[in-house]
């Protein structure tokens, strides 16, 4: 069993505490402006910005550093159309039959329905896939560890990177999403994790007036 050679921690920066505090506050202020958007403009976004955000996502920590994710980036009208049609089939089932009354009640304030025009309007659909194991060239399988947690972390960084660049996102999870493997030619060994819709917001985009929990509602400190 070989191990990686080690190197000194590269590029670590320690800030004076006041600067640390300011940086933490600036970051919070920036991410606190992020809102999930469901109405997109069709304005194009340069591909290199998406590529850089994907590289940021790929810095996420992952189980045994096996980076168990794949991002399939869709820009073509024909593929978007297929994804929209397949997603709306599942969504119609979901809203008419599959969702419990409790789930529909929870969604009611968001005003969502089975119609998903943004899947054709937005310039980019990023299908995130989770790999439970890697398949080597000779067909051998290498098990991945914590693939769900790892892919969630990478997706969180992706959303944050796109927000920081000035784009908006929708985390969309038509369920089931197996159609994404077929349409995007991804192997059966990959599980579709979510579909991230991204671009500029529509000029008249509106969002529900939701609120975030306060710190004591979502965090606790144990000091002894």
Which positions touch ligand IYR (CB under 6 A)? 91, 94, 107, 110, 112, 172-174
- Kindly tell me which of 78 and 210 has the beta carbon lying closer to ligand IYR: 210
Q: How far is Cα 180 from Cα 12, in angstroms, rounded to an integer?
A: 39
Q: How far is Cα 121 from Cα 165, in angstroms, rounded to an integer?
A: 20
- Kindly tell me which of 62 and 130 has the beta carbon lying closer to ligand IYR: 130
CB 194, min distance to ligand IYR, A: 10
Residue nearest to ligand IYR (CB): 112
What are the CB-based long-range contacts (under 8 Å, 24+) for 89-95?
90/174, 90/175, 90/176, 90/177, 90/179, 91/115, 91/116, 91/174, 94/174, 94/175
Give yes or no for a contact between 161 and 52, defined as CB atoms under 8 angstroms apart: yes
- Kindly tell me which of 95 and 145 has the beta carbon lying closer to ligand IYR: 95
- Kindly tell me which of 39 and 145 has the beta carbon lying closer to ligand IYR: 39
- Kindly tell me which of 59 and 173 has the beta carbon lying closer to ligand IYR: 173
CB 177, min distance to ligand IYR, A: 10
Q: What are phi and psi of 166, to 5 degrees?
A: 100, 20
CB 175, min distance to ligand IYR, A: 6
CB 174, min distance to ligand IYR, A: 5
CB 184, min distance to ligand IYR, A: 18
Residues 6+ apart with CB under 8 A from 148: 130, 193
């Amino acid at each position: 069993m070989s191990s990686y050679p080690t190197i000194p921690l590269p590029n670590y920066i320690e800030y004076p505490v006041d600067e640390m505090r300011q940086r933490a506050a600036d970051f919070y202020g920036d991410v606190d402006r992020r809102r999930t958007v469901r109405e997109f403009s069709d304005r194009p976004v340069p591909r290199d910005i998406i590529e850089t955000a994907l590289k940021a996502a790929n810095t996420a920590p992952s189980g045994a550093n096996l980076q168990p994710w794949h991002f399939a980036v869709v820009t073509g009208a024909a593929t978007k159309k297929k994804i929209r049609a397949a997603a709306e089939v599942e969504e119609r089932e979901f809203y008419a039959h599959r969702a419990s009354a409790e789930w529909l009640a929870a969604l009611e304030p968001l005003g969502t329905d089975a119609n998903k025009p943004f899947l054709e309007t937005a310039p980019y659909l990023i299908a995130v896939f989770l790999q439970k194991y890697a398949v080597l060239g000779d067909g051998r399988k290498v098990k991945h560890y914590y693939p769900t947690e790892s892919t969630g972390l990478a997706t969180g960084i992706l959303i944050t990177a796109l927000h920081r660049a000035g784009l908006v996102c929708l985390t969309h999870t038509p369920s089931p999403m197996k159609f994404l493997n077929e349409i995007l030619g991804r192997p059966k060994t990959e599980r579709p994790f979510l579909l991230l819709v991204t671009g500029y917001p529509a000029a008249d985009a509106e969002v529900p007036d939701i609120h975030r929990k306060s710190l004591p509602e979502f965090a606790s400190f144990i000091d002894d």
